[in-house]
């Protein structure tokens, strides 16, 4: 394997690990589609910040995107609570609208600069080794995607370490948390911000669409395997990392899209685990039936 390949895998693994941790709580909060909504809704924010700052790097882009992500979750809450629309309809309206705005921005304003729809939608992980971050003095640090990935993992790790109990109780029973005097709005919106940040820092690598595969599929696989939250988090990270590695080699083999291969493999892993679980369950039931019959 080349050093370039290694960079790509490391970048993907960093994103996969962070997404698996964030995604586990998305699933438990029954908000997987909220992840989908946010990952699409950050598009206008990204484009807008890009147009303002003229650069694809750095803080403006991150802030712009995180802001639209939170805006999307606010709009969804507003439609759900004030207009009393069902939550799935609120999500559907909000994210398609924001995403469409982003598409218009890209197609009409950014033709002259380096931000194209394909890159935003599908990401371009193959370019990871080509895009380096330099110090002020001009010496190379590391590929930008890897630096972003490390930062993201740190942010997610610190948030979950500090917020584990708050997220746990508000995910399990929001009303009870509110009755204890815990600010459920704080936990909702801080978590939505975390989802936005995760999406933004990953979108260049895996794209706005496939990021959902990293957010939802590995945690869903882990959810099938265990009834302990901490164990679920560990397994989710494991499945995310595995999909990143497997996907890379699959893509090399078939000479296709790397991000696409990673997402597909994640889906296959999920189906494998679901299948094994079904078989085990049936076996268990058969044994139980057998022992009952013998008695």
Partner 1 sequence: MSANKEAAPALEVHNLTATYDRQPVLWDIDFSLPEGSLAGILGPNGSGKTTLLRNIMGLMQPDSGYVRLLGQDLAKVRAQVSYVPQRESVDWNFPVSVSEVVAMGRYGPGKLLRRLRRQDRDIIEEAMERTGILPLAHRHISQLSGGQQQRVFIARALAQQAQIYLMDEPFVGVDAATEEAILNLLGEMKNRGHTVIMVHHDLQTAQDFFDQAVLLQTRLVAAGPVETVLNKENLQQAYGGRLNVLSKVGQLAAEKQFPLREKAFRERKKPAHGESD
Q: Which residues contact partner 1 (rule: CB under 8 A)?
A: 28, 30, 84, 162-163, 165-166, 168-169, 171-173, 175-183, 223, 226-229, 231-232
Q: Which residue has the tokens 């397994």?
A: 235
Retrieve residue 178's tokens.
């509110």
Residue 143: other Cβ atoms inside 10 A:
21
Q: Which is nearer to partner 1, 7 or 187 (CB)?
A: 187
CA distance 12 to 244: 6
* Residue 238 beta carbon to partner 1: minimum distance, rounded to whole angstroms: 16
* Residue 161 beta carbon to partner 1: minimum distance, rounded to whole angstroms: 10
* Residue 190 beta carbon to partner 1: minimum distance, rounded to whole angstroms: 12
Instruction: Report CA 126 to chain centroid distance, whole Å.
Output: 19
Q: Which is nearer to partner 1, 123 or 166 (CB)?
A: 166
Rg (CA), the chain: 21
* Residue 191 beta carbon to partner 1: minimum distance, rounded to whole angstroms: 14
Mutual angle of helices 3-28 and 32-53, in 10-degree steps: 130
Return all residues near 136 (Cβ < 8 A) that are at least 6 apart. Answer: none
Q: Which is nearer to partner 1, 101 or 224 (CB)?
A: 224
CA distance 163 to 142: 30
* Residue 196 beta carbon to partner 1: minimum distance, rounded to whole angstroms: 22
Q: Which is nearer to partner 1, 101 or 178 (CB)?
A: 178
Q: Which is nearer to partner 1, 108 or 227 (CB)?
A: 227
């Amino acid at each position: 394997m080349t050093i370039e390949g290694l960079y790509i895998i490391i970048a993907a693994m960093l994103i996969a690990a962070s997404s698996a941790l964030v995604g586990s709580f998305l699933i438990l909060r029954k908000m997987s589609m909220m992840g989908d909504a946010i990952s699409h809704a950050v598009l206008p924010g990204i484009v807008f910040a890009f147009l303002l700052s003229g650069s694809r790097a750095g803080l403006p882009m991150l802030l712009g995107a995180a802001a639209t992500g939170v805006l999307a979750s606010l709009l969804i809450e507003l439609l759900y609570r004030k207009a009393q629309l069902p939550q799935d309809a609120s999500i559907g309206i909000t994210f398609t609208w924001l995403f469409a705005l982003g598409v218009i921005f890209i197609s009409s304003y950014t033709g002259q600069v380096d931000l194209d729809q394909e890159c935003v939608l599908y990401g371009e992980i193959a370019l990871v080794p080509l895009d380096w971050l330099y110090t002020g003095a001009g010496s190379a640090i590391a590929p930008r995607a890897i630096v972003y990935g490390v930062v993201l993992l740190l942010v997610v790790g610190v948030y979950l370490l500090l917020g584990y109990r708050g997220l746990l109780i508000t995910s399990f029973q929001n009303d009870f948390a509110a009755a204890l005097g815990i600010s459920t709005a704080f936990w909702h919106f801080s978590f939505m911000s975390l989802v936005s940040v995760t999406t933004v820092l990953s979108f260049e690598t895996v794209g706005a669409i496939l990021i959902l595969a990293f957010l939802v599929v590995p945690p869903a696989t882990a959810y099938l395997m265990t009834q302990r939250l901490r164990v679920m988090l560990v397994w989710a990270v494991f499945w995310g990392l595995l999909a990143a590695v497997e996907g890379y080699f699959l893509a090399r083999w078939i000479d296709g899209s790397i991000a696409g291969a990673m997402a597909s493999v994640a889906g296959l892993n999920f189906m494998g685990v679901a299948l094994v679980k079904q078989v085990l369950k049936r076996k268990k039931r058969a044994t139980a039936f057998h022992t009952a019959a013998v008695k």
